[in-house]
Structure 1
């Protein structure tokens, strides 16, 4: 548990600390405002409730949205092929750095899902993938595109499937 927390803290950037401090300061300001307006009970309760909501949701949602904005990338699946003599799928794709900063590492995750003719069932099946595989690509400059090849293995599913790609970059 301690190693996980240390790893999370080591991966934080300056903007993350600014976000967390801003959320905490906003929480304190709203709590003080709630105490000042304690004569108006309903308004005070609303402000205190909003303060706690901001304290609980602000860091998480802010972190997710800020990293989507700061580390924009686009992953495209070029080709996927199931190998006949090995239990594996070869996935070829490309990743493009769409942000204003250089990436020093991108973790690309390929996920294989079952596929059915039913659109709604496909959405539910995406929640429980057949197999997941990942690779890390180093040093992607601004507006640069890099191609990659990876394997999803072991893969023994014999029916129709679909492969999805996503990436998280730093």
Structure 2
């Protein structure tokens, strides 16, 4: 499943492989894409950042003081910038807690959409929505654990 039309076939294959096992192993995917990932103490209100560190090398720093689920979404979001907006990164790009940066709202929306699609693949979400024998709260909690995301991210993706 190709997540976005801007992604080449080789990268789409890596993504398809990664989403074959949930929760998605984002660190492994980043390594296969050639992106270094670090957990770091970032300024208050900054969730993550991506910077060019060499000729064609990039590094992502994730705020170590946020929840693991938040860190996962931030990493997926920054990978979205790497794959979709590499030409816009320049010397670096920082996203605040609301995933806003110096880039346009549409670019941030694309990175958020990419992160949601990567962490919570549509076909898996559709399977969960068929679980009518559970309450909405139970479904949200199950999806949160299943995908390794926050309850809020799961709720938004499930459309509940």
Common topology (TM > 0.5): no
Larger strand proportion of the pair:
1
**Structure with bigger gyration radius:** 1
- TM range, smaller chain: under 0.3
TM-score for both structures, normalised by structure 1: 0.26
Larger helix proportion of the pair:
2
TM-score for both structures, normalised by structure 2: 0.27
